[in-house]
């Protein structure tokens, strides 16, 4: 694709996380390309493509095996020219140069370009130095960039937790100072960014950073007086739960959204509903699930959780003590195994038991992530949504090396 764009007279570079991962000798999860070609020109050049996006138009190019590479046009630094009183960055579709595009990106380590003419990295923002020094830094003035788009705080924490890098001092202070501005962001963006963290394999590290910065309590305000950066019983339980979730997802288990949220909410539920710690009957568990559902409606409106998911979460939390008491008998009673919630409830309890110091979960029946590829007939068009990734070969692609 890069060579085709070059041969057509355009400038095109590999950009973002793919360059970062290749520099760190990791296999990129996906590849993104930036170019000075406009979306319409890209569609003419790549017939196997489609245009997506509202705030900024992107072109997705489809390949065999249901793989996709996203191509964006260089954007300008329009937010630096906005002097109005807008609280957040306005939507725009303004095109710019390679340098403009670099300075508009969120983090220095993700603002690197790799070009195929000379097989070199183009670095306008000091991203290579930050990679070498293991630093996460917001591009430009951290205070201004965060107030223009507060979601950048969540991205900074995510990349720091996933890479083990240290957040640069000014960036960290800006996150602490402006954490409340996250509330002005659309619910959908916060929710999407949150689940990117929860579906990762470094949730525990992310949680520590989020708690220390105070961002955790902006997303989950009901945890304000329950957990803290100083270790206590509930904080330790929450971090242990995240540790188990990390392990399971590293092993390839796909944990559903509602199960992730239910695990995250266990310390809060135990604090709010003391009956969860007592031996209860099925009827008492049902009554408590109604109370939990009401509390979820009150505390989670800002995350736009589906009603069905909240019902599942309430049921899992309410039945946790029931599963705990029945597990001690050594065998699940037949009446419980016939319940529709038994399978998921038992899995939920196993994860909780491991986080509480019990034996590691070894018989989990969660769906495991698999990669399926189907051969296509000539002339058929791919409709999948997988993103193209690099083969596990030494030196990456295009002879890329440090």
The model's pLDDT over 271-294, given as tens digits with 9 standing for 90+, comes to 999 877 777 777 888 888 999 999
Domain co-membership, 16 together with 100: yes
Whole domain around residue 277: which residue ranges?
228-254+256-365
User: From the centroid of its chain, how far is CA 251?
Assistant: 18
Q: At 153, is the pLDDT very low, low, confident or very high (cuts 50, 70, 90)?
A: very high
Residue 82 has pLDDT above 50, yes or no: no
Residue 30 a catalytic site member = yes
Tokens of 181: 């501005």
Residue 167 belongs to a domain: no
Q: At 368, is the pLDDT very low, low, confident or very high (cuts 50, 70, 90)?
A: low
Percent of the chain with pLDDT over 70: 85
Mean pLDDT of 266-274: 92
**Residue 324 confidence (pLDDT):** 87
d(CA 266, CA 217): 16
Residue 356 belongs to a domain: yes
Lowest model confidence (mean pLDDT) among 102-106, 137-141, 204-208, 384-388: 384-388
Catalytic residue of the set 21, 32, 101, 197: 32
Residue 297 a catalytic site member = no
Catalytic residue of the set 21, 101, 106, 197: 106
Mean pLDDT of 53-80: 77
Please write the tens of the pLDDT for every residue from 198-233. 999 999 999 999 999 999 999 999 999 899 877 789
Higher pLDDT, 391 or 295: 295
Query: What's the total number of domains in the chain?
Result: 2
Domain co-membership, 400 together with 308: no
Domain co-membership, 99 together with 19: yes
**Residue 395 confidence (pLDDT):** 46
Residue 200 belongs to a domain: no
**Residue 328 confidence (pLDDT):** 80
d(CA 124, CA 137): 14
Coil, strand or helix: which one is 382?
coil
Q: Do 114 and 400 contact (CB within 8 A), yes or no?
A: yes
**Residue 377 confidence (pLDDT):** 46
How long, in residues, is the chain? 402
Write the DSSP assignment of 102-131 as a string of letters: HHHSSBGGG-EEEETTTTEEEESSSHHHHH
**Residue 10 confidence (pLDDT):** 87
Domain co-membership, 44 together with 128: yes
Sign of the C-alpha dihedral computed for residues 208, 214, 215 and 216 taken in this order: positive
Domain co-membership, 23 together with 126: yes
Cα→Cα distances 226→182, 216, 264, 274, 326, Å: 21, 12, 13, 13, 28
Average predicted confidence (pLDDT) for the chain: 84
Domain co-membership, 239 together with 129: no
- Partners of residue 72 on adjacent β-strands: 34, 58
Q: Do 122 and 113 contact (CB within 8 A), yes or no?
A: yes
Listed in sequence order, the residues at least 6 apart from 50 whose beta carbon sits closer than 8 Å to its beta carbon are: 59, 60, 62
Residue 212 a catalytic site member = no
Catalytic residue of the set 30, 123, 143, 309: 30
């Amino acid at each position: 694709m890069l060579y085709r764009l070059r041969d057509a007279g355009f400038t095109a570079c590999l950009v973002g996380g793919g360059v970062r991962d290749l520099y760190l000798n990791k296999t990129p999860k996906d590849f993104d390309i930036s170019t000075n070609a406009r979306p319409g020109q890209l569609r003419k050049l790549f017939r196997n493509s489609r245009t997506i996006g509202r705030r900024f138009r992107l072109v997705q190019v489809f390949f065999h095996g249901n793989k996709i590479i996203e191509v964006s046009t260089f954007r300008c630094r329009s937010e630096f020219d906005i002097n109005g009183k807008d609280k957040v960055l306005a939507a725009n579709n303004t095109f710019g140069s390679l340098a403009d595009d670099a300075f508009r990106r969120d983090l220095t380590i993700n603002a690197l370009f790799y070009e195929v003419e000379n097989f070199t990295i183009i670095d306008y923002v000091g991203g290579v130095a930050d990679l070498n020094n293991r630093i996460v830094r917001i591009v430009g003035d951290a205070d201004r960039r965060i107030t223009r788009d507060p979601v950048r705080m969540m991205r900074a924490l995510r990349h720091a937790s996933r890479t083990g890098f240290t957040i640069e001092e000014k960036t960290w202070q800006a996150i602490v100072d402006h954490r409340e501005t996250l509330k002005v962001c659309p619910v959908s963006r916060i929710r999407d960014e949150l689940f990117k963290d929860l579906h990762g394999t470094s949730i525990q590290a992310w949680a520590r950073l989020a708690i220390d910065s105070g961002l955790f309590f902006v997303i989950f305000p009901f945890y304000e007086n329950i957990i803290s950066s100083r270790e206590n019983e509930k904080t330790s339980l929450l971090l242990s739960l995240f540790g188990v979730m990390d392990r399971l997802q590293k092993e390839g288990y796909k944990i559903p959204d509602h199960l992730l949220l239910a695990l995250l909410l266990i310390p809060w539920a135990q604090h709010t509903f003391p009956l969860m710690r007592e031996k209860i009957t099925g009827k008492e568990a049902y009554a408590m699930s109604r109370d939990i559902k009401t509390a979820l409606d009150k505390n989670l409106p800002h995350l736009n959780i589906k009603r069905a998911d909240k019902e599942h979460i309430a049921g899992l939390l309410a039945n946790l003590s029931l599963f705990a008491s029945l597990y001690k008998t050594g065998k699940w009673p037949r009446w419980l195994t016939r319940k529709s919630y038994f399978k998921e409830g038992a899995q939920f309890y196993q994860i909780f038991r491991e986080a509480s110091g019990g034996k590691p979960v070894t018989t989990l029946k969660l769906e495991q992530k698999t990669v399926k590829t189907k051969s296509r007939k000539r002339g058929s068009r791919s409709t999948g949504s997988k993103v193209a990734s690099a083969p596990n070969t030494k030196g990456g692609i295009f002879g890329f090396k440090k």
